[in-house]
A and B are shown apart, each in its own frame.
Chain A
Amino acid sequence: MSDGSAAFAVSTGEPIAKAVTARPPARRLPTEEAPWVRRLLIGLAVGFLGLFLLLPLVTVFMEAFRKGAGAFLAAFADPAAVDAVLLTLLVAAIAVPANLVFGVAAAWAIAKFDFRGKAFLVTLIDLPFSVSPVVAGLVYVLLYASHGLFGGLLQSAGIQIIFALPGLVMATIFVTFPFIARELIPLMEELGNADEEAALTLGASGFRMFWTVTLPNVKWALLYGVLLCNARAMGEFGAVSVVSGHIRGYTNTMPLHIEILYNEYQFVAAFAVASLLAALALVTLGIKSWLEHRYAGDLAAGHRH
């Protein structure tokens, strides 16, 4: 606002930029730490992360290339390695879509509706997180192995689950079960029902509403859930190890192949296969970090309404 001089009153407040008193010694806000404290804490945190997280990661790649690129590539010339990669891809290709369908359905029921026992249901969905992967494998063995609960039944029908692909897939589904639902539920709860209700008032059918309103709202969280689920599915070791029976070339996934190579002292080959999975983990984390920036903005836009 332009400041007119008053005809009958003293004009106040000329813009003053003059008379800057001598700068006091550097002071800090009461909610800040002294710079040296800050630097010390950052140094400690970075040092800890470097020692405990980065160093093991770097080790994977260092060991993989210890004897040069030729030795690294030779690891993949082994047909067993190729079979392991293919089997891992196959298991993930079944387990991830299964958990995707489940995650979306569970998130829809839990985030959009109020029903009794909801908290308990969420706890049950989280259960596989706190169950040892070995126990996860064991429960399937107890169910489906030849002397398991359904073992006799399956054997007479000629169906092999344990020490075969179905067992690997089921164990993998078990351990990666909560990932997609866990990503979706909090976000969908936060977004509320208003968008879906608006779509319905505009005459959209249930499926149309889901495709055009719900899914676009949660697509980034969904993508991240799928990536994480996939990384874990491809990397699962304990549960798969229990149900696989280690039949080389038939029920050997990449992590199991790594174990075999390692135990046979083929360290370079073991780390070469491991480096593929580590690269997959890094890509997953990179995309997550990037998505967090993206869909943080999406969420903020959602709040602006």
Chain B
Amino acid sequence: MTPTAPFVKPSVLPGFRLTIAFTLLYLTLIVLLPIGALLFRASSLGVHEIVALALDGRTLAALRLSFMTSLAAAAFNVPFGLLIAWVLVRYDFPGRRFFDAIIDLPFALPTAVAGIALTALYAPKGWIGSIAALAGLKIAFTPVGVFLALVFVGLPFIVRTVQPVLGELDRELEEAAATLGAGRLRTVASVVLPPLTPAILTGFALAFARAVGEYGSVIFIAGNIPYVSEIAPLLIVIKLEEFDYAGATAVAAIMLAISFATLLLINLIQARARARYGHV
């Protein structure tokens, strides 16, 4: 009765064959085929060529800037994301629901809008930029601006991965630690943070992956000065505009490799967390 492909557990529910076939077809057409085309192009370039293109000073500088500012922004977001998740889960205060909703703003706000808004804010004449200028600091059109844009983009990833885990954390664990004599800070450090670690790492990796590829919110504030504040995704666009398809493909292949590595890392973290903590 039920269509039973050899790899599916029999079920009385209908529609598996239809939906899985459609899912795989759509996935192939929209995602796998185009990415396959990129990988195909990259492989026809060969590793040597890719490395040679990547080791070009300007490309290397762009990749390094993207990588380092993304790491820094994700790392910066960890303590603040944790703090915000903690405050939203544990405390009730006026406006809590509003602030909870606003966390997703970087998800919902178009990147170009965020980009021009951040630029207006941090530019030397902007609200924050003018204050920074008094202290002799330049934010917009420097790597600091890139970093701040990536902080904006990455924040929700940390908060939204930590928040549900923190919410489900059994208060009994903290009570148990207290009955055993642990003070509050000790309890939080030794009993609350360890179970949150997989979520924190996952959030960090997601924020990093997003930041490395981010384009719209960064290019306005970056100023895009070669060797200084030019990010890797922009380099792809520039190479495309110069009809340098090989160059664009090489940079994209490297970025795709970073994406895949990050995805793999996230899956490893989660598999380890499941194996370790199980269900107690």
Contacts and interface: CB of A to CB of B under 8 A. Distances in A.
Note whether A and B form a binding pair. yes
Which of B11, B105, B112 is most buried by chain A, counting CB atoms within 10 A of its CB? Answer: B112
B108 A284 contact: yes
Contacts of A143: 33-34, 37
Contact of B255 (A132, A170, A209, A288): A132
Which of A56, A128, A200 is most buried by chain B, counting CB atoms within 10 A of its CB? Answer: A56
A182 B179 CA distance: 41
Contacts of B255: 132, 135
A102 B26 contact: yes
A93 interface: no
A115 B7 CA distance: 6
A127 interface: yes
B230 interface: no
A53 to B, nearest CB: 5
Contacts of A236: 110
A168 interface: no
The 9 A-B pairs with the shortest beta carbon distances in the complex, nearest first, are A132-B213, A235-B110, A238-B215, A139-B34, A237-B216, A206-B14, A30-B178, A289-B101, A281-B108
Interface string A232-257: 10111110011000000000001110
A138 B38 contact: yes
**SS class, residues of chain B in contact with chain A:** helix
A31 B91 contact: no
Contacts of A173: 30
Contacts, number: 295
Given A134-B233, A138-B252, A196-B13, A278 B113 contact: yes
A206 B17 CA distance: 13
Interface string A193-208: 1001100100000100
B20 interface: yes
Given A113-B20, A134-B215, A231-B110, 12 more contacts: A31-B175, A49-B103, A59-B117, A105-B22, A109-B16, A129-B210, A130-B209, A173-B30, A235-B111, A271-B117, A277-B109, A281-B110
A274 B117 contact: yes
A30 B175 contact: yes
Nearest to B235: A134
Contacts of B112: 235, 237, 255-256, 258-259, 274
Contacts of B184: 30, 33
Contact of B237 (A54, A242, A278): A242
Given A41-B91, A284-B108, A30 B174 contact: yes
Interface string B162-196: 00000000010011001100001001000000000
Interface string B7-29: 11101111110111011001100
B213 A131 contact: yes
**SS class, residues of chain A in contact with chain B:** helix
Contacts of A30: 174-175, 178-179, 184
A3 interface: no
Given A63-B117, A134-B237, A289-B100, A108 B15 contact: yes
Interface string A270-285: 1100100110011011
A303 interface: no
Interface residues of B, number: 97
Interface of A: 30-31, 33, 38, 41-42, 44-46, 48-49, 52-57, 59-60, 63, 101-102, 105-106, 108-110, 112-117, 119, 121, 123-136, 138-143, 147-149, 170, 173-174, 177, 193, 196-197, 200, 206, 209-210, 228, 231-232, 234-238, 241-242, 254-256, 258-259, 262, 267, 270-271, 274, 277-278, 281-282, 284-286, 288-289
Interface string B127-155: 11000000000000000000010011001
B19 A132 contact: no
A115 B20 contact: yes
B223 interface: no
Contact of A53 (B86, B102, B178, B263): B102
A261 to B, nearest CB: 9
B12 A147 contact: no
Contacts of B107: 228, 232
Contact of B213 (A59, A130, A270, A284): A130
Nearest to A134: B233
B255 to A, nearest CB: 6
B55 interface: no
